[in-house]
Structure 1
């Protein structure tokens, strides 16, 4: 039996559930109450929608103490949502691309990796330096790239042992170009946050770099 895409489309296409899914693109797990606020609905209505998303395997539930937290089921769901955003933007009646907030357009989180102008710039600089291959939907770390990141102290060998690809291209919905996902994309964002070069303001997908942090980030990945 072929997969029924209408089921998934129906789950994502409903406006309230779409708002919840977009809120979870921040990469953070949220409670039903928080998601109800995001979707501007009652807690009871939110519970019904969340149950459908969990049953449809788009979300997972994590329990901690008395609280239940919801998050995207996996990277595949995040990728699908990003592609829908890209398609939606391309069919918009206006020619303006991307979010109106310049901070969101410049740098934001896409599930667990860096998106926006700076994420796209990073991807294409790495491709130009032959650190990654850029073949439409297929991206790989080259031997030169392995050496480059290993010299920075990145555990590439450990990443290769994971089920998740080391490198993966993700089409950026505001820039309409690829940014870097996969284990390496996750590492790059996590490292910037851990070094406090950047932070994620609560309740947003924005990644805000300090002046010194941005300079350090650009220098580390030779973007200047």
Structure 2
């Protein structure tokens, strides 16, 4: 096919192991320096800079300067969504990283997926919201229902005050570890931010892990119970 989007070019950018590691590191949602990304990729700073130039030219990564340092981040939620989908595909096909450690179970329980909650707790939140009629999946979109608007308002989220963004309010995102959907989009970002503001959860430093306090987890389970109905309907 000689016309249309060139997916081969994007696939080549993502497919290099070092660049894949760089992109995965940026899934934390944090802006990182070339030195930090070189460590994540297991390459020299010079090699990392070359990879970052390709990713920037390819429209996957953006750079910004702050003082003497240059920081890199993913260009958009769309890029993050593609990466998470590829992680899910790789996990389902059995292509998993060999490195294991004590944070593996924590990553699977709760982690950041770019800017929203993923892992078992992220999936539970999504499934509970659908089962309780707060979210309504359709063929083309994910709708926050009238009951859902009331729910998020009671949680302390002002939807009208959310930052202007091209991202949809609600979006499904395939969770690579649980192999079910979790909630992304502006609402997914706002809910995770609210959990952190309420001191229910915190981001672990230099990690994608999200740790809930005992009281925070209790409050979470009260808001998003995993009932037989939610399991049966989803």
TM-score, normalisation: structure 1: 0.91
Query: 1:167, 1:185 within 8 Å by CA — same for their partners in 2?
Result: yes
Match of 1:110 among 102, 109, 113: 113
Deviations 1:150-178 (A, max 9, x none): 23332123449643211111111111111
User: Residue 138 of structure 1: CA displacement?
Assistant: 2.5
Aligned residue pair count: 219
Query: 1:159, 1:166 within 8 Å by CA — same for their partners in 2?
Result: no
Aligned-partner SS, 2:137:
coil
Deviations 1:192-218 (A, max 9, x none): 112221112122111011111211233
- Once residues 56 and 143 of structure 1 are traced to their aligned partners in structure 2, the CA distance between those partners, rounded to angstroms, is 40
User: Residue 101 of structure 1: CA displacement?
Assistant: 1.0
Match of 2:205 among 202, 205, 211: 202
Query: 1:137, 1:169 within 8 Å by CA — same for their partners in 2?
Result: no
Query: 1:199, 1:209 within 8 Å by CA — same for their partners in 2?
Result: yes
Match of 2:177 among 174, 178, 189: 174
- Once residues 143 and 195 of structure 2 are traced to their aligned partners in structure 1, the CA distance between those partners, rounded to angstroms, is 22
Match of 1:27 among 12, 26, 29: 29
Over the aligned positions, Cα root-mean-square deviation in angstroms equals 1.9
- Structure 2 alignment gaps of length 5 or more: 227-234
> Counterparts in 2 of 1:51-200, with a 5 A limit?
51-92=53-94, 101-135=104-138, 138-159=141-162, 162-200=165-203
Aligned-partner SS, 2:64:
strand
The aligned residue for residue 231 of structure 2 is none
- Once residues 111 and 184 of structure 1 are traced to their aligned partners in structure 2, the CA distance between those partners, rounded to angstroms, is 13
Aligned-partner SS, 1:119:
helix
The aligned residue for residue 42 of structure 1 is 44
- Structure 1 alignment gaps of length 5 or more: none
